[in-house]
Chain A
């Protein structure tokens, strides 16, 4: 009950006119940041952080977290309209979101994405409100072996649950692993595969790869198909929002499952990216119309968006209670907390009640404000697709180039983006899936690091991955996911032979 009183006190703080104004400014800035690929939430928050130093800490965190929500919403816009995911966790949104936009249903896809984000975030905030003290400690049980098991599960559920030929998926994934290996080997502290090239010290950044593979690759494909932008007949009025809303409750099962996956992955600091991929993969298998996934199925937008936002939101819990940032954006927010003289950790909830509950209240209100802002703009976003390809394509190219440049302020990255664009075009022509490649670039070196840390700790014994109930369960789930098709086949054969 005390928590509830604290929460209402938090609402009172967040609802002051000054804070509401900051909330709306934050959301708007965030959406703009999210739409520009490359200038992701982390960079946006970092750039705007100094603006908030003169504000009281509670107002500052409200504004910054609203920028964060806005960027999350904004990321979905480019994923759906142009097939350019601005953040790793929006990659899975493109699989069905972009086909929907091409079929002239961008409004539907955007509404589903925004609403699912809201549902996921809301679910996570409610969880934080109710069970924060119970859940906070869970992250402590995650050592390197447990972390590796989660990444393993993400990879396996992708290979095993995808409908693509498994060997093409694995081939694409291996290319991703090879790219992820470039740069500093964090276990030995030595440089790998850089061949003395200074630009490669940092390895291949996910954003450069994804802007090239998806954005540039898509433009090349469209050019080949005759310079026409499909989806120009999109309906552009607000009624589409209401129509979509009428459809959404039918997918409550997918939403609930995605919320749970998201919260679990967010609290175990594995993050939003594995959550969105895993949720998409599982929905593809379990949904009634799973065979249509990838061709513009609304459920294929709901699943990853809900999970990503549930994870992104619940990741703030380990950040506040343990001081472990779950994402780059959270890391910058963490820096902000320290500048305002707040020390994240077990004592924050006890000593800085007003701040913590103000933040939690702003999560409710910020998400609601964000949903209203972006939903009213759905027709405007959808109308972008009516602009002729000849005008919009150069604009997208410029946007991509700026995005790639702004990641490290380097022109080399712009070149690299073009190379990835050609690679993306070729892979698509040969029917290789791009998503496993991207997943491997994002999670490859994290998985490798966790794997090697575990083996260091166990002095080389693989038994560490089955050394306790938690890690064994996750590993076993991973193996089941990997061999899902043969298992299912064997099961049905067994049933027919028994019958």
Chain B
């Protein structure tokens, strides 16, 4: 049995040594880099982190291995606190989702994004309003009429997690159309989509990647996207319709916009050189065909921001979450 272990170990060493084409950055990792995912295995952030890990390994983009570690406890609070307490350790990066804002606000754990060093925004994840394809709602208007007509609270919206992005959007819809939904939280986006296929909920706001398979299989129907403009991808997915053909919710009279950050942060007190190293690394990742394929499969918004622009964007988004969550009554006592 031993030789096999040895082989694998040797292969790993060989892989990390074979990389000679790294850039001449002023700083480089000297140990394996931990890539923290503040969410469970199989979710959107986890998929993205593992895709990045695969791309880095395949194209030899780093001399040191990149190791994905899930720290999902307390709606990701475990991961954020772990990075926060690793001050000055440049071998730890974290990928965030909206729980960067929502978890501290909803649970009151001692954490704020300013505790970390921002590196780059990799992409923004879209949200789409989905209904079961068997239902007679062919447009946002049909849907809104049905939701308003249903007795208060009997219309069920399924979503991922509690007091997080999906529920924030749900509250936004409720306000916009003056109806009352019952929000049912599940553990993961894939499960939510399947609950909708099984007609256990009436609608969801799944990310494209979570529901695309069911759309292609003719089980779900997208009604609108919660973005300012339609998505950019024009390759047909189902019935000759592409992501591009899904109208924005606003244009259909449902005034709610929401995009989720997929961004990278480092431990506190990172130096400029260290941040620069990771920014360059992610630029290389973004240039690979695998990454572009991944962006297409999940219909991501590919905005890339670094430095002051990135920090400004986060700050505005934090304020917005504070307002949205306060209005919804999601703040933890003391926040």
- Residues on B with beta carbons closer than 8 Å to the beta carbon of A336: 50
Within 8 A of B (CB), among A111-170: 139-144
The answer to whether B4 touches A449 (Cβ under 8 A) is no
| Stretch in B75-83, B135-143, B249-257 with 4+ CB within 8 Å of A | B75-83
- Please judge, given known A-B contacts A184-B107, A338-B51, A345-B216, whether A323 and B74 are in contact too, CB under 8 Å: no
Minimal Cβ-Cβ distance residue in B for A330: B42
- Is B73 a contact of A32 with CB atoms below 8 Å? no
Contact with A along B49-91 (1 / 0, CB 8 A): 0110110011000000000110111110110010000000000
**Cβ–Cβ < 8 Å partners of B106 in chain A:** 189-190
Q: CB within 8 Å of B: which of A284-342?
A: 322-325, 328, 331-332, 334-336, 338-339, 341
Distance in angstroms from B229 CB to nearest chain A CB is 25
The answer on a CB contact under 8 Å between A51 and B11 is yes
B297 at the interface (CB under 8 A from A): yes
- A347 interface residue (CB < 8 Å to B): yes
Q: Is the beta-carbon distance between A343 and B213 smaller than 8 angstroms? A: yes
Q: Are A332 and B216 in contact (CB under 8 A)?
A: no
User: Given the complex, which residues of B lie within 8 Å of A46, measured CB to CB?
Assistant: 41, 68
Query: Digit string of A3-38 for contact with B (CB within 8 Å is 1, else 0)?
Result: 000000000000000000000010011011000000
Confirm or deny: A486 has a beta carbon within 8 angstroms of a beta carbon on chain B: no
Nearest CB in chain A: distance from B236 CB, A:
14
Interchain CB contact under 8 A, B213 and A339: no
Question: Are A323 and B193 touching (Cβ within 8 A)?
Answer: yes
Which B96-151 residues sit within 8 Å CB-CB of chain A? 106-109
> Does A183 reach chain B (CB closer than 8 Å)?
yes
Q: B61 to chain A: closest CB distance in Å?
A: 13
Size of A's binding interface in residues, CB under 8 A: 59
Binds B, one of A384-392, A429-437, A451-459: A451-459
A453 to B182 alpha-carbon distance, docked (Å): 10
Is the beta-carbon distance between B42 and A187 smaller than 8 angstroms? no
Q: Is A344 in the interface zone, CB < 8 Å from B?
A: yes
Q: Does B172 contact A (CB under 8 A)?
A: no
Task: Please indicate which of the listed interface residues A184, A194, A202, A332 has the most CB atoms of chain B within 10 Å of its own CB.
Answer: A184
Given contacts A198-B81, A338-B47, A457-B182, contact A323 B41 (CB under 8 A): no
Of A187, A202, A323, the residue contacting B190 (CB under 8 A) is A323
Chain B residues in 8 Å Cβ range of A28: 1, 4
Whole-angstrom CA separation of A140 from B4 in the bound complex: 41
Contact, CB under 8 Å: A347 / B187: no
C-alpha gap A186/B187 in the complex (Å): 8
A50 CB contact (under 8 Å) in B54, B200, B293: B54
A94 CA / B11 CA spacing, docked (Å): 37
| Bound CA span A328–B46, Å | 13
Known contacts A144-B184, A189-B75, A345-B217, A459 near B154 by CB under 8 Å: yes
- Name A202's closest neighbour in chain B (CB-CB): B73
Taken together as a complex, chains A and B put the C-alpha atoms of A185 and B40 apart, in Å, by 15
B residues in contact with A328, CB < 8 Å = 41
A341 neighbours in B (Cβ, 8 Å): 293, 297
Q: Does A423 contact B (CB under 8 A)?
A: no
Contact in complex: A140, B198 (CB < 8 Å): yes
Evaluate contact between A29 and B73: CB separation under 8 angstroms. Answer: no
Q: In the complex, what's the smallest C-beta–C-beta distance from B17 to chain A, in angstroms?
A: 16
Interface segment, one of B160-168, B276-284, B310-318: B160-168
In the complex, B153 has a CB within 8 A of chain A: yes
Contact A203–B73 (Cβ < 8 Å): yes
Which B residues are CB-close (under 8 A) to A50?
53-54, 57
Known: A25-B4, A53-B57, A186-B185. A143 touches B213 (CB 8 A): no
Partner of B1, one of A32, A140, A142: A32
Do A42 and B77 touch (CB < 8 A)? no
Asked if B107 and A190 make an inter-chain contact with CB atoms under 8 angstroms apart, the answer reads yes
Are B184 and A456 within 8 A (Cβ)? yes
CA distance A423 to B258 in the complex (A): 48
Across the interface, which residues of A come within 8 angstroms of B1, CB to CB? Answer: 28, 31-32
In the complex, the chain B residue whose C-beta lies closest to that of A194 is B74
CA distance A29 to B107 in the complex (A): 40
Q: B5 within 8 Å of A by Cβ?
A: yes
Q: Are A453 and B184 in contact (CB under 8 A)?
A: yes
Separation of A202 and B8 alpha carbons in the complex (Å): 32
Contact present for A346 and B219 (CB under 8 Å): yes
User: In the assembly, what is the distance between CA of A175 and CA of B331, in Å?
Assistant: 31
A188 at the interface (CB under 8 A from B): yes
> Which residues of the partner chain B approach A383 to less than 8 Å between Cβ atoms?
none
Instruction: Kindly state whether residue B323 has any CB partner on chain A within 8 Å.
Output: no
Q: Is A29 a contact partner of B8 (Cβ separation < 8 A)?
A: yes
Name B182-220 residues within 8 Å CB distance of A.
182-187, 190-191, 193-195, 197-198, 200-201, 209, 212-214, 216-219
Whether B156 sits at the interface, judged by CB under 8 Å, is: yes
- Known interface pairs A28-B1, A144-B200, A343-B297; 14 further A-B residue pairs with C-beta atoms within 8 A, sorted by A's residue number: A42-B41, A49-B54, A187-B185, A189-B164, A190-B107, A201-B73, A334-B42, A335-B46, A335-B50, A339-B51, A339-B54, A347-B216, A453-B185, A456-B184
Report 20 cross-chain contacts, Cβ distance below 8 Å, ordered by A residue: A29-B5, A32-B5, A46-B68, A143-B198, A183-B73, A183-B74, A187-B185, A189-B163, A189-B164, A189-B330, A190-B106, A191-B108, A201-B77, A322-B197, A323-B194, A332-B42, A345-B212, A346-B217, A408-B71, A459-B182
Interface residues of A (CB under 8 A from B): 25, 28-29, 31-32, 42, 46, 48-51, 53-54, 139-144, 183-191, 194, 198, 201-203, 322-325, 328, 331-332, 334-336, 338-339, 341, 343-348, 408-409, 449, 453, 456-457, 459
Which 3 interchain pairs have the tightest Cβ spacing?
A345-B213, A202-B73, A346-B217
